[in-house]
Every structure is written in C-alpha cells, then in structure tokens.
Amino acid sequence: MRTRSLTRCSPDLSDPLSPTTFVSGREPVHPRKAELLPDNPGLATDVAILKLGGSVIEAHPGYRVVRSPANPLFHWGNFVIVDPPGGDDVEDAQRWLAVFEREFPAAAYVAISLPSQPTGPAWRVAGVPVEVDDVLTVSADRHVLCESALPTGYRVVLLPDHGSADGLWAGVGRLSLAELDEQLPQAANESFARARVVDKRMLTATGQAAFFAVLDSGEQVVANLGIVCCGRTARYQDVVTAAAHRGRGLAGHLLGVAARWAGEQGCQEWVIVAAADSPAGRIYRRAGFAEAFLNVSAYRVEELASSAG
C-alpha cells in the first residue's frame, strides 16, 4: 500500500522544473498560505499542503472535489472527499464510484477519501480496496519531541531550493524511488519520484516547508523527511530511510530536528500519518506521537487491478 504522501503522479517530462534545472528564486506557480480545513488533522493537512501548491477545492452537497491543475494525473491531488457525517453513505460504494467517475471521467484510478471505515462488503464487491492509515499527533503542551542522538558517521543538512543543491535533491529522489511499488512500471515510478522532488522544492520555496536529509560518510543521502507548516499545525512528509541504514535511529533524529524547526515557526501541534500497525508507526509512537484519527480511503490503480486479474 502506498500512503498519500507517496502516491502516483505522471508529470509532463518536458516540465522545465526538473530536479536538475530548478531555477533559484523562482516563485511557486500559486504561492499562498496553507490553511486548515475543519477535518481530522491528517486529511486537513493533506488538503492544506495541496492548496499551498495550487490545488483547488470544489464544494458539492455531501462531498468535495480536489483538483490539481498543474498535476492532473497526481492521484491524491485529484480525488473526491466524502464529507461527514457519512453514516450509511460510506457503505454506498456504487454512489461514490459514480461521483468519482463523473468528476474524473478520464481517470485510470479511483481515489476517494472516506469519513469513516466501512463495515460492509460493498467496496470489496466493487473491487476497490479500502486502506486505513493512522493519523498520529503530538502537541507542545503535552510533549515536545526531542532529538535522539545522531549516530557517528552521519550528518544532517537542510535542503535549500536553489540549484547548488541539485545533487542532494537527486539523492532524495533516488531514495524515494527505492520505496515505490515494484508492481508498477519502472518508468512511471521514475517519473513520480522526479515529480515529488519538484513538489518538495516548490514547497521549500514558499518558506512554509523544510526538508532535511541525513548524509553518510560518503556524502550519500540515506534518510530524509519534510515538514510543512499549516497554520499552527506542522505536517511531516515522506519519512524515508534507506534499507541498509534502518534501525540506527536516523528517522527518530530527523523527527526531532524537523519538530524544532516547525516550533521555531510557531507550530503547536505536529501530525504524521503512517500505515496502520506499521513499523514506522511504532517508531513515531516511541517518539511521543499518539493516534488521534484514521485516514480512510478507497483506492485502486487500474494498472494493478488489470495485472491482478
């Protein structure tokens, strides 16, 4: 399963904002302040970060539609949000699949955010898996995240948005690529990883986000994460550690480094999303996070559905 922070997009490969041609000082296409919507903090920060990058939100009776004109094939940038109270509506898979098809008739995927976890078989019968992520939070008045010690032989860098950091950002892209679904075409995964680097650099350019990397003794990127300020709430992004460097406390150290940065920007709450019962979630709980909500989504990629059939 792929979380919403690592979700498929297929960018235009002729985009001049490739990781190696990012222009220092270039303004984001739609610079704006990230603002929270009245949802659980996982979904709220998802949407706030998308808005910061230029996505638009359309309100309809019972649901909202998120569209990302600059990235029309970014699945979790172009999706339907079923609004609470939900109730029996969350069980009506055919209704929401019809809504999604009407809003995104050319989509080769299904991406629908649900307000609660369905209990009936409707989504399974429709052939659309329901995924559940834990939304974990920690607040300044309850606990301040502390930086664990950085092991010997590593150092942490704050990634700038300008061209002199192209090599570091390329390392971030390679690390992301290694985490992507091997069932999907390699070329598509490479496109996605490049697009994610562009997204991160544009967020960094707004001044409301920071991305940090851990370098090993050979100056290779072996771990990274980002954090975005959404008002007084800070949302972690893309926490990744190379397989050969796991179990050494690198992610725990970065969590603290990023928390301190966000606190200096005035944030009072930190939010991170992890697959339910995952090893990553256990790391975050040890760092002080506690489960607050669930992100529930109905998600299917046609390439995977076809190959499974």
Per-residue tens of pLDDT for the chain, all 309 residues: 344 543 333 222 222 222 222 222 323 333 334 444 446 899 999 999 999 988 999 999 999 999 998 777 689 999 999 998 655 689 999 999 999 999 999 999 999 999 999 999 999 999 999 999 999 999 876 555 666 789 999 999 999 877 678 999 999 999 988 887 666 678 877 887 888 888 899 899 999 999 999 999 999 999 999 999 999 999 999 999 999 999 999 998 999 999 999 999 999 999 999 987 788 888 888 888 888 899 999 999 986 554 444
> Does 289 share its domain with 302?
no
CA distance linking residue 265 with residue 278, whole number of Å: 30
Residue 148 lies in a domain: no
Q: Domain check: are 286 and 160 in the same one? A: yes
Number of domains making up the chain: 2
16 domain-assigned: no
Distance of alpha carbon 10 from alpha carbon 215, whole angstroms: 29
pLDDT of 36 reads 42
Residue 87 vs residues 38, 92, 124, 137, 287: alpha-carbon distances, Å: 18, 10, 18, 25, 34
Tokens of 136: 């974990």
Residues 77 and 189 in one domain: no
Say whether both 169 and 199 belong to one domain.
yes
Residue 228 in any domain: the answer is yes
The verdict on 107 and 188 lying in the same domain is no
Q: For residue 240, which of 276, 185, 197, 195 has the smallest C-alpha distance?
A: 197
160 and 287 fall within a common domain: yes
SS3 296: strand
* Rounded Cα gap, residues 185 and 170, in angstroms: 20
Closest CA to 252 of 100, 111, 145: 145
245 in any annotated domain = yes
Same domain flag for 286 and 159? yes
Tell whether 113 and 168 lie within a shared domain.
no
What is the pTM assigned to this prediction?
0.81
SS3 state at 164:
helix
Structure confidence at residue 18 (pLDDT): 25
- Structure token pair of residue 129: 């898996």
The verdict on residue 102 lying in a domain is yes
Strands of 233-241's sheet in order across: 56-60, 63-67, 79-82, 109-114, 290-301, 130-139, 269-275, 233-241, 221-230, 209-215, 155-158
Q: Residue 200 maps to which CATH number?
A: 3.40.630.30
Would residue 15 count as lying in a domain? no
Q: What is the Cα–Cα distance from 143 to 285, expressed in whole angstroms?
A: 12
- The predicted pLDDT at position 141 comes to 62
230 and 182 in a single domain? The answer is yes
Residue 180 inside a domain? The answer is yes
Q: Which of 50, 108, 35 is nearest to 81 (CA)?
A: 50
For residues 127 and 111, membership in a common domain is answered with yes
Residue with tokens 């059939």: 309
Question: What pLDDT score was predicted for residue 196?
Answer: 82
Are residue 275 and residue 302 in the same domain, yes or no?
no
Is 250 part of any domain? yes
**H-type alpha helices, the chain:** 41-52, 93-103, 122-125, 166-178, 186-205, 250-264, 279-286, 302-308
Is the distance from CB of 77 to CB of 4 less than 8 angstroms?
A: no
State residue 16's pLDDT score.
Answer: 24
Phi, then psi, of 241 in degrees rounded to 5: -130, 135
Indicate if 168 and 78 belong to the same structural domain: no
CA diameter of the chain: 55
* Omega cis (within 30) before 85: yes
Q: Report pLDDT for 154.
A: 97
> How confident is the model at residue 9, as a pLDDT?
31
| Domain ranges, residue 256 | 155-293
* Per-residue pLDDT, 26: 29
57 strand-pairing partners: 66
